[in-house]
Each structure stands twice: as C-alpha cells, then as structure tokens.
C-alpha cells in the first residue's frame, strides 16, 4: 500500500467534521467532486470503508471513527509544531470556536475581547458543529451543552432563546413563506425546526445560517433566529412567542491543561463578562437598548 499523504487525511478530517462534501468544500477550497474522489481513493488505500454515504451526508463507519480518533492526535501534533514555529516571531494566538451567530455577536463586540494594548492574536473558527477542544483544535469554545470530555473545563453562561422573525416591511404575500437552511446542512435544532413544523411553507433554502437574516430583512419570508440576533434589529419583528423547545444553556469550554495560560484566561474572562452582561438579550427578554 502506498504512503498516504497528510493532505488526504486533512480532507478526510474536514469531511468527517462537516458531515459531507459541501461543508468540506467550503473549508478546503476544493470542489465537492474532487473531495468525493479523494475519499474513494483513501478508502481504497486503507482497504476499509470509512463513510456511510446518504443524501443527508457522510457518517463515519467504525473504521472511519477509529481513523478519525488517531488523526486527531496527528493533527494536534502538527498544529502544535506550526504554533511553536509561529511563536518564535509572532505574538501568542488564542483560537476561538463558536457557531455562526455567537461569532457574529462577538464580532460586533470585538473591542470587548481585544484592545490595541494586548500582545496576543485571535483566530475565529466558525462552525455549526460542536466546538472540539479535547485535542487542542481550539483554545476556547462556545457550546450549547455541558462538555462530556474529562479534560475540558466549562463555565455556564446562561440560556439562549429563539423565535420566528419577519421583516416589518414584508409584503402581505409572504405571510406564510418560510426561509430555512437546507435540510442536509441543518445541524442545529433551530435550523431543523422549520423542516419539522413548517416544511410545506418553506419557500427559500440556503446553505449557510448567516444568510437567513439577510433574506428575512429582504422580505423573502419568515425564519428562526436566536433572540439575541433578531431582537437587536428594529427592522425585524417576532411572529409569535419564544419557541420554548429550542431554549438551551450556553457554556464556555476550555482545555483543562491550557485554561491557565495568561492570554487564554484573559480572553475567556472577557468573553464571560460580555456574554453575561447581555444575559437578558440572549434569554429573549429584549432589553430597552440595542447592542
């Protein structure tokens, strides 16, 4: 069997993490067709099936999961070497993994996370799947549940609420139209909700959650958004009350071995203060002032 290059394993990791070819294509810059071909080649090289393929995406087989677990250690070692090389001449790096809308919120409040006086850099990894920190893929993550991994430390921030929103200027003809993320890309519960309860009324689908707000504002229809996104925009209005079944708590998560590093501790403390200071907004209690 010929030696498999690290680039093939990196593509494999991308497919496994994003659950299919489309997500892997977005992060790798390769076409879905090329990625699909490379994964077939990898399966021939290792002489084992690595994925169960379906219309809804790619799921790891038992052999695929075993390879994934082994590659995490290789990836962590590779990243550590690259970080070590970069640190010779560059400031320390703090890597933050968060979902689409929390990343959006952090971006709007960036000055609360880093100032011109700080001697570290920030790297944002935006992903809908859960933030992975067990093998130091990131330094700080935001999760919708308490971590199960023994080597992760966590801090509960508070609840997050969701509701259906429509543009205040939307035409009457769009009263029942819904906008949703395509079902194969609907990873989070709030993205799955329209397919479960408003499937017949879905008029537009997109592949990225970030486009939901833009299409709602354009008057294309209604859509589910976190209340901390919808309630700060006076151009949007809630349709009905909070969707109670979607409410969940939010956690800041760090690798237990790294959380005392000065720059990681500093950013985590600032993130905690920022998110907790907007607790009413995240919980859907709509404060009097907008962010």
Give the domain CATH number at 267: 3.40.190.10
Residues 136 and 258 sit within 8 Å (Cβ to Cβ): yes
pTM reported for the whole predicted model? 0.68
Closest CA to 207 of 188, 233, 183: 183
56 φ, ψ (degrees, to nearest 5):
-90, -5
Residue 84, in any domain of the structure: no
* Domain hosting residue 186, numbered range: 162-246
Residues 194 and 202 sit within 8 Å (Cβ to Cβ): yes
Closest CA to 113 of 274, 280, 282: 274
Q: Is the pLDDT of residue 291 over 50?
A: no
Residue 290, in any domain of the structure: no
Helix (DSSP H) and strand (DSSP E) numbers for the chain:
10, 12
Q: What is the DSSP letter of 129?
A: S
State the burial class of residue 204 (Cβ atoms within 10 Å of its Cβ: 0-12, 13-18, 19+): middle
Pair of tokens at residue 291 = 């962010």
Pair of tokens at residue 39 = 């994964």
Residue 121, in any domain of the structure: yes
The reply to whether 132 and 258 lie within a common domain is yes
The CA distance from 181 to 209, in Å, is 6
User: Which is more confident, 188 or 173?
Assistant: 188
Give the CA distances from residue 67 to residues 41, 57, 259, in Å, rounded to whole numbers and listed in that order: 15, 19, 28
* pLDDT class of 1 with cuts at 50, 70, 90: very low
Strand partners, 249: 159
The CA distance from 109 to 99, in Å, is 15
SS3 content of the chain, % helix, strand, coil (to 5): 45, 25, 35
Residue 215, in any domain of the structure: yes
Report pLDDT digits (tens) over 202-258: 999 999 999 999 999 999 999 999 999 999 999 999 999 999 999 999 999 988 877
Residue 176, in any domain of the structure: yes
Residue 83, in any domain of the structure: no
The reply to whether 272 and 135 lie within a common domain is yes
The reply to whether 152 and 254 lie within a common domain is yes
The reply to whether 133 and 204 lie within a common domain is no
Report pLDDT digits (tens) over 160-169: 999 999 999 9
């Amino acid at each position: 069997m010929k030696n498999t290059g690290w680039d093939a394993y990196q593509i494999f990791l991308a497919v496994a993490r994003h659950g299919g070819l489309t997500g892997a294509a977005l992060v790798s810059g390769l076409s879905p067709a090329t990625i699909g071909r490379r994964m077939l080649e990898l399966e021939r090289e290792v002489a084992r099936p690595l994925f169960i393929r379906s219309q809804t995406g790619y799921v790891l087989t038992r052999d695929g999961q075993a390879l994934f677990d082994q590659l995490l250690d290789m990836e962590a070692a590779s990243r550590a070497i690259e970080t070590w090389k970069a640190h010779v001449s560059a400031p320390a790096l703090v890597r933050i993994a968060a979902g689409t809308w929390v990343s959006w919120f952090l971006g709007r409040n960036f000055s609360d996370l880093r100032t011109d006086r700080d001697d570290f850099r920030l790297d944002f990894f935006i992903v809908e799947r859960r933030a992975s920190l067990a093998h130091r893929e990131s330094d700080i993550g935001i999760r919708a549940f308490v971590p199960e991994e023994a080597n992760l430390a966590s801090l509960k921030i508070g609840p997050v609420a969701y509701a259906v929103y429509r543009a205040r200027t939307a035409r009457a003809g769009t009263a029942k139209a819904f906008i949703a993320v395509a079902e194969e890309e609907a990873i989070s519960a709030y993205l799955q909700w329209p397919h479960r309860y408003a499937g017949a009324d879905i008029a537009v689908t997109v592949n990225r959650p970030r486009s939901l707000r833009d299409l709602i504002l354009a008057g294309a229809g209604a859509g589910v958004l976190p209340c901390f996104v919808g309630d700060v925009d006076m151009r949007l209005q809630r349709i009905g009350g909070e969707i109670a079944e979607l409410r969940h708590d939010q956690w800041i998560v760090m690798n237990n071995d790294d959380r005392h590093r000065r720059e990681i501790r500093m950013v985590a403390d600032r993130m905690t203060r920022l998110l907790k200071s907007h607790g009413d907004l995240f919980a859907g209690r709509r404060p009097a002032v907008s962010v």
